Structure 1
Amino acid sequence: MSILIKTDKNKWTRRALIRGMGVGAASALLPVLEADAQDSAPKRVIIMTTPNGIAPEVEPVGSQTNWQFGSAASTLNDVRSDITYLRGIDLKTYTTNRIPNDHPPVIHQLLTASDSIDPMDGSNPAVSGTWLASGQSIDQFLADRLMANPATQTRFRSIVAGADCGAFAWQQVYRQPQEPIFPENNAGNLHARIFEGVTPGGGQPDPALIAELARRKSVVDSVQDELNAVLSRVGSADKQKIESHINAIREIEQRLDFDQQSSAGAACEVPNLRGTPGSQDDQHRLKGTNMMDIIANAFACDQTRVATLQWANGASGIRFSSLGIDEGHHDLTHDNFGPNAGKRAQIAGWYAERFKYFIEKLKSIPEGSGSVLDNTVILWTSEHNGAQQHGRTNIPFFLAGGLGGAFNTGQFLDFSGNSLAHNDVYVSLAQGVGLSDVTSFGKASLVRGPVPGLLA
């Protein structure tokens, strides 16, 4: 499969398109292409989560504009001007509505900012894997809104990637309430799906592909009457499941539809995947690096504008032997909590290095007069604070990138004296990508509005 290509940041390969489609077929699209060329660079959002909290040794010291990261995150001081750190952000979905403080009940709240649902009605809930979210996750909300606007549609609505995710992986990202999405952990599979047919540096559409797509008829459209008949006879729960399945099929059709295919900019590259030899944490690093490279280049090729990357999960048994740590990460957050503080800080530093790589990767890809990072925000957070066992207050939130000038960077914003709900961070994300009508997200009673000082 081939996709349409831009030979530079502002010009489509119109001659290639015309050759592939024929003058008559292509002429109707030329005004659309010229309008697209005048658009500013797209805004993009990445959410990166790491397990078992982020050690408090990462917290900055100093004032709002004159500050440095703490010892565990000192590596980020090199890119501090690209980052805003938020202190005093609480998981108020938990603190205002206490449920068992364990991974299965609470993990759903991290990206949805909504209450958790216990289908077991309190029967052994702390160890039950049946807990679900009552809301949609912020990444999927943004993806839906962007895909609903023809000017911001892309070939893929979002990327949901994982590096060594396991038992709790599916509980963070929610397509809809009670409808989790399991992240793709195989970089080879994700790479093949995202970059199928991408021709970096310019090219022309495949005439055979265009002819084939012209002959295709939507599978859903061909059976729409039968679907309507079935939907009219089933209950609301079954109807929701069927409609969700139909939407998934339509998303696949969109990716095959010529009119929906995205434009690859001059900086579009297809990344090479790295092997994953070595120790357990070295393999973990390389798996995550592959995913970060895929996301960064998918953005440069405008294949999508929303992505999540989940490193491991709340029960992570990864041993960071390169740091001289023999215990699993999860065990360190429970066993000998005080004495193991230094080891947890080392692991926080290890993940800070990964965050820095992501920042520098996006910063290395030119776009307009700046870089892809300038038009992106990477949010890094965790399900609890790392200063306590499953502490749900003062959860670290790192934000890197200016989101096309929407976000202020180089700041340390401290709300510990009057904490905010993490719902407000997600309202800020929505408004930052241009959704000015979004004044609430998740559990509405917790929302104050966008984070003060974050939006430019």
Structure 2
Amino acid sequence: MRSRKNTPITRRTVLRGLGATIALPWLESMSHLGSAWADTTRAARATAGGMPLRMAFLFVPNGVNLDHWRVHEEGPLTTLPRTLEPLAPFKSDLIYFTGLAQNNARPLGDGPGDHARSLATFLTGVHPKKTDGADIRAGISVDQVAAQKLGRLTRFPSLELGIERGAQSGGCDSGYSCAYSSNISWSSPTTPVAKEIDPAAVFDRLFGRGGEAELKRRQHGASILDFVNDEARRLKPRLAVADQRKLDEYLQSIREIEIRIKRGGDVPKPPKDFQKPHGKPDDTAEHIRLMFDLLAIAFQGDLTRIATFMFANEGSNKTYPAVGVNDGHHELSHHGKSPEKLEKIAKIDRFHIEGFAYLLNRLKQIKEGERSLLDNCMIVYGSGISDGDRHNHDDLPVLFAGRGGGTFRTGRHVKYPNDTPMTNLYLSMLERFGTPVDSLGDSTGTLPNLS
């Protein structure tokens, strides 16, 4: 960052230090920027308040317990079902969808493999090639359509995050490659984009500049803020009092994430034959919160405007002892209408929703002018399977959060005819994002009744 007082403060202004680069959040001091900034925000489909839109796609595997998920009344969201109760503070920010489907997740002559197909299709709308070899093929995903068109405007075209690593080769589901079950994002029909599950690695990617300087910073155990404090001090006199406070809060939130990541590594050493990923918490709930904090910071600092997140890989048999579920999720999803298994699935579903609510709360607390960051987001949460026991791909459990800069009318349940392509929702989002396309996967057009 230049130190001259007359240098304009823009969204491209950053604080730099030894192995560190920290982008600024939106500040009131940026509201008077000239035509160059205006042209950039128009290209990024800025909202009426001058803020860019962001989009994120959150995926949960194995379907849900529909009895505790379903909202039956169309129109305004009033009482939420048991699984969705943690979202009660955000009812006005949500759209609950009924009737959306992913037809290309169905067998279509390929036999078993619904788990792999449900994820490969979730953001692409394309029926994946059945293979467990290197000749995988699906389709470009909606997030990467947007990233390839507007990703140049931010430091990172997109972020791909998750909780489970997942294999990239070999067979995982009835003759389908593990790549289909582990990746939600595809930059081309043959190229999945691997997710990052280590919060420490994400933090370094967002704020580190790499090379010898960053290595020295790590070796000394210093905070990343120690190396940008001088520039922050020089910047503050140029800011209004409210902006100074906002900058302090932003930097403090970065510091808190840094502390939590380091704390996650302070555990007894595992056996020699077990290597724990650096910075990855043992507590799944804390792991999810850390990743969502990093996602929120990345959106706030305009480091990226596009992200995906996987709560677990499709077909995952992960256990959830924190909510009293020691059985594998995938095994439970084949419940055979067992009340005991369905109850455990409901607990897992609610655990995931609590994580979603945490992200919404973080985004809603961040102010961007007269709106919140959540208001300037378009977030899809859902699964590619409805009932895990039936492996069905119609009437999917799908939620939408954020107002897309005022282009979505939220706080309601919107019902479409059954088997309406979910990709039609994606076309609608891409249009608002400033990256319209004629089609995506099996899409038939944009969705009506969204605004």
TM-score of the pair, normalised by structure 1? 0.72
SS in 2 for 1:89: strand
Aligned-residue CA RMSD (Å): 3.2
Query: How high is the sequence identity, in percent, across the aligned residues?
Result: 25
Deviations 1:212-242 (A, max 9, x none): xxxxxxxxxxxxxxxxxxxxxxxxxxxxxxx
Structure 2 CA distance for partners of 1:177 and 1:371, relative to 1, 3 Å: same
Aligned to 2:421: 421
Structure 2 CA distance for partners of 1:413 and 1:165, relative to 1, 3 Å: farther
SS in 2 for 1:61: coil
Q: 2:204 aligns with which of 192, 207, 210?
A: 192
Aligned positions of 1:81-96 closer than 5 A = 81-95=92-106
Contact 1:112–1:137 (CA under 8 A) maintained in structure 2 = yes
Aligned to 1:363: 364
SS in 2 for 1:108: helix
Aligned to 1:372: 373
Distance 2:70 2:388 in 1: 11
Contact 1:10–1:37 (CA under 8 A) maintained in structure 2 = no
Aligned to 2:221: none
Of the structure 1 ranges 173-182 and 53-62, higher mean CA displacement relative to structure 2 is found in: 53-62
The one-letter code of the counterpart of 2:440 is: F
SS in 1 for 2:448: coil
Deviation at residue 155 of structure 1 after TM alignment? 0.5
Q: Please tell me whether residue 79 in structure 1 is matched to residue 90 in structure 2.
A: yes
Distance 2:35 2:368 in 1: 23
Deviation at residue 146 of structure 1 after TM alignment? 1.2
Aligned to 2:288: 288
Aligned positions of 1:55-454 closer than 5 A = 55-56=65-66, 57-95=68-106, 97-102=108-113, 103-118=115-130, 120=131, 128=132, 132-147=136-151, 153-167=153-167, 168=178, 170-196=182-208, 203=231, 266=247, 268-269=250-251, 270=254, 271-272=257-258, 273-274=260-261, 275-276=263-264, 283-334=283-334, 336-339=336-339, 340-386=341-387, 388-415=389-416, 417-435=417-435, 437-443=436-442, 447-454=443-450
SS in 2 for 1:60: coil
The one-letter code of the counterpart of 1:434 is: G
Contact 1:87–1:414 (CA under 8 A) maintained in structure 2 = yes
Distance 1:89 1:303 in 2: 31
The one-letter code of the counterpart of 1:80 is: K
Of the structure 1 ranges 319-328 and 287-296, higher mean CA displacement relative to structure 2 is found in: 319-328
Distance 2:133 2:290 in 1: 29
Distance 1:46 1:335 in 2: 31
TM-score of the pair, normalised by structure 2? 0.73
Structure 1: 5+ residue stretches without partners? 15-29, 121-127, 207-264
Q: 1:44 aligns with which of 41, 47, 54?
A: 54
Distance 1:73 1:281 in 2: 26
Contact 2:163–2:287 (CA under 8 A) maintained in structure 1 = yes
Distance 2:438 2:92 in 1: 28
The one-letter code of the counterpart of 1:53 is: G
Deviation at residue 110 of structure 1 after TM alignment? 1.1
Contact 1:108–1:132 (CA under 8 A) maintained in structure 2 = no
Structure 2 CA distance for partners of 1:302 and 1:319, relative to 1, 3 Å: same
Deviation at residue 98 of structure 1 after TM alignment? 4.2
How many pairs are equivalent? 364
Deviation at residue 317 of structure 1 after TM alignment? 2.6
Distance 1:101 1:424 in 2: 26
Q: 1:9 aligns with which of 25, 28, 32?
A: 28
Structure 2: 5+ residue stretches without partners? 1-19, 168-177, 210-223, 235-245, 269-279
Structure 2 CA distance for partners of 1:86 and 1:373, relative to 1, 3 Å: same
Deviation at residue 44 of structure 1 after TM alignment? 0.1
SS in 1 for 2:123: helix
Structure 2 CA distance for partners of 1:425 and 1:413, relative to 1, 3 Å: same
SS in 2 for 1:294: helix
SS in 1 for 2:292: helix
The one-letter code of the counterpart of 2:439 is: S
The one-letter code of the counterpart of 1:326 is: N
Deviation at residue 130 of structure 1 after TM alignment? 5.4
